[in-house]
């Protein structure tokens, strides 16, 4: 399995500031014992009040730069899970100063960027606002594209989403090979919440060659009490009907490390137990889609179309290849 969205860098950084590495040790065992080969590993940012409430007083400080947080979190994660194939991501660009700091982060290993969480920031907006991509946001995303980073469309509200699509389309028309995806978003036609994507948004992602990660969280799957595993497969089937099977991946967005404080994500919201997610998920995918498609959805699509492309872009940049 290659998990399209797991807040592993935030878990690592929270472990560092609290001195409690027990949950990170558990995740390490889950990876090693459960055939989880890699993940898009996120360090996430929200408003300061939200971070204090959800992640503790020490998680974010104006005295510590995003660069310092990222470097420390990456160092710890790499130490605990050294064999994994990680795409290192920041979710919420609120506290990235500008394009220069983004380039510094890229040099330190940052591979992917989600412009915003639910809140509005200086670059764009999530679902707590109707505003779109700002001029600063255009410059930041253009810089990320020039660096060869992955552009993650999840969390953007519709205005910001379509502005990002327009910008990415223009850069593709200029000859840029843009690696883009929505890492953790389900079908809004099957579950009408603003964090999911409607069919027109899915079609726009297809037009720019992007991928979508179906997310195994109950609140994204159905607003009613259903067989969530079957309904999750329905989301994959619907997204595949628009994007094609080889443009779909899976994301756990596993938030059990916060189940003591965040009632939106708690143990009961997880469709799959992470200690055996690959076995159970792969079993379900094989039964619905067959072995070849199950492998592609669970691992190959993300590995080949995102991980390999981002690493290829990084190597070309190192060699000075345009």
Q: How far apart are CA 309 and CA 320, in angstroms?
A: 16
Percent of the chain beyond pLDDT 70?
96
- Would you state the pLDDT for residue 261? 42
- Would you state the pLDDT for residue 265? 45
Eight-state DSSP code of residue 122: S
The most distant pair of C-alpha atoms in the chain lies apart, rounded to whole Å, by 54
Question: If pLDDT is split at 50, 70 and 90, which confidence band does 282 have?
Answer: very high
Cβ 301 vs Cβ 211: under 8 Å: yes
Q: Is 24 exposed, middle or buried (0-12, 13-18, 19+ CB in 10 A)?
A: buried
Residue whose entry in the numeric block shows the structure tokens 């992007």: 210
Residue-wise pLDDT tens digits, 1-24: 999 999 999 999 999 999 999 999
pLDDT above 70: residue 83? yes
- The crossing angle, in degrees rounded to 10, of helices 228-243 and 277-289 is 60
- Would you state the pLDDT for residue 278? 87
DSSP for 52-96, please give it.
HHHH-TTS--TTS-HHHHHHHHHHHHHHHSTTSEEEEEEE--TT-
- Would you state the pLDDT for residue 268? 54
Residue-wise pLDDT tens digits, 25-54: 999 988 877 778 999 999 999 999 999 988
- Would you state the pLDDT for residue 31? 87
What SS3 class is residue 210?
coil
Residue whose entry in the numeric block shows the structure tokens 């994959």: 236
| Mean pLDDT value across residues 183-208 | 97
Degrees to nearest 5, angle at CA 228 with 225 and 233: 140
* The domain over range 2-319 is classified in CATH as 3.90.1150.10: no
Question: If pLDDT is split at 50, 70 and 90, which confidence band does 258 have?
Answer: low
* Alpha-carbon distances, residue 13 vs 60, 113, 124, 283 (angstroms): 10, 18, 25, 33
Residue-wise pLDDT tens digits, 56-77: 999 999 999 999 999 999 999 9
- Would you state the pLDDT for residue 256? 75
Q: How far apart are CA 197 and CA 120, in angstroms?
A: 19
Residue-wise pLDDT tens digits, 118-155: 999 999 999 999 999 999 999 999 999 999 999 999 99
Could you tell me whether strands 38-44 and 150-152 are parallel, antiparallel, or unpaired per DSSP bridges? unpaired
Mean pLDDT of the chain: 93
Cβ 190 vs Cβ 231: under 8 Å: yes
| Mean pLDDT value across residues 226-233 | 97
């Amino acid at each position: 399995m290659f998990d399209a969205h797991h807040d592993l860098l935030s878990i690592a950084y929270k472990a560092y500031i609290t001195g409690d590495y027990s949950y990170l040790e558990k995740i390490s065992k889950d990876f090693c014992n459960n055939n989880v080969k890699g993940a898009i590993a996120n360090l996430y940012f929200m408003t300061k009040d939200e971070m204090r409430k959800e992640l503790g007083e020490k998680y974010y400080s104006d005295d510590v730069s995003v660069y310092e947080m990222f470097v420390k979190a990456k160092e710890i994660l790499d130490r605990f899970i050294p064999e994994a194939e990680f795409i290192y991501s920041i979710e919420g660009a609120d506290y990235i100063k500008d394009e220069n700091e983004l380039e510094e982060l890229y040099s330190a290993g940052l591979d992917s960027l989600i412009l915003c969480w639910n809140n509005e920031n200086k670059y764009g907006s999530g679902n707590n606002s109707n505003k779109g991509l700002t001029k600063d946001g255009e410059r930041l995303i253009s810089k990320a594209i020039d660096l060869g980073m992955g552009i993650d469309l999840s969390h953007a509200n519709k205005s910001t989403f379509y502005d990002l699509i327009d910008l990415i389309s223009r850069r593709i028309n200029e000859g840029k090979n843009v690696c883009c995806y929505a890492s953790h978003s389900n079908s809004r036609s099957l579950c009408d919440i603003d964090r999911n994507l409607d069919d027109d948004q899915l079609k726009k992602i297809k037009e720019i060659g992007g991928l979508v990660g179906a997310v195994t969280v109950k609140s994204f799957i159905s607003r009613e009490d259903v067989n969530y595993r079957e309904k999750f497969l329905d989301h994959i089937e619907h997204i595949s009907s628009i994007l094609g099977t080889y443009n779909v991946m899976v994301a756990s967005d596993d938030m059990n490390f916060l189940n003591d404080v965040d009632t939106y994500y708690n143990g009961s919201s997880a469709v799959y137990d992470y200690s055996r997610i690959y076995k159970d998920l792969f079993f379900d995918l094989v039964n619905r889609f067959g072995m070849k498609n199950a492998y592609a959805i669970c691992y190959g699509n993300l590995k080949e179309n995102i991980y390999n492309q981002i690493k290829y872009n990084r190597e070309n940049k190192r060699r000075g290849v345009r």
